[in-house]
Amino acid sequence: MASKMGDQVLLVVAEEGDELVAGALNLIGGDTLFGRLWGCHPRTYYPSLHFEACYYQAIEAAIELNLKTVEAGAQGEHKIQRGYLPVTTYSCHYLMNEGFRIAIQDFLEREAAQVKLVMKLLHDSGPFKEGIH
């Protein structure tokens, strides 16, 4: 990956002694740093390491690299307390089974109104001025 993408990859690693215990993979595109993958040794627990590796180090890198945005990825109400408000993300899928496809489409159409309401409530109660997220 490094040979093809070079400076577009930011890998944050956490070590204990000589042992790699966790890491966060970020990709850089345009003026944005995209947080993508996180992993931690399964038999260890380090309080706040996830936030340090995935969010705080990403913010520091974005500032150093003069990037405008850190996109922390989809999901996670826990991100709000770290200064990330939700943004709409999109994906594209095709389900081969027609019955399953129809059921999922119906659910997503009904869910959309609820997601829109929750996002509005979170933004209205967030710490940022209107238009900043």
pLDDT in tens, 99-117: 999 999 999 999 999 989 9
What are the strands of the beta sheet with 32-40, ordered from one edge? 9-16, 19-29, 32-40, 69-71
Query: Domain residues of the chain, as ranges?
Result: 1-84, 86-133
Higher local confidence (pLDDT), 78 or 122: 122
Domain 1-84, CATH among 3.40.630.30, 3.40.50.720, 3.40.50.1110, 3.40.50.1370: 3.40.630.30
Query: Tokens 């710490």 — which residue?
Result: 127
Residue type for 130, please?
E
pLDDT in tens, 12-60: 999 999 999 999 999 999 999 998 888 898 888 888 898 899 889 999 9
The mean pLDDT value for 111-127 works out to 86
Q: Phi, psi at residue 110, to the nearest 5°?
A: -75, -35
Query: What length does the chain have?
Result: 133
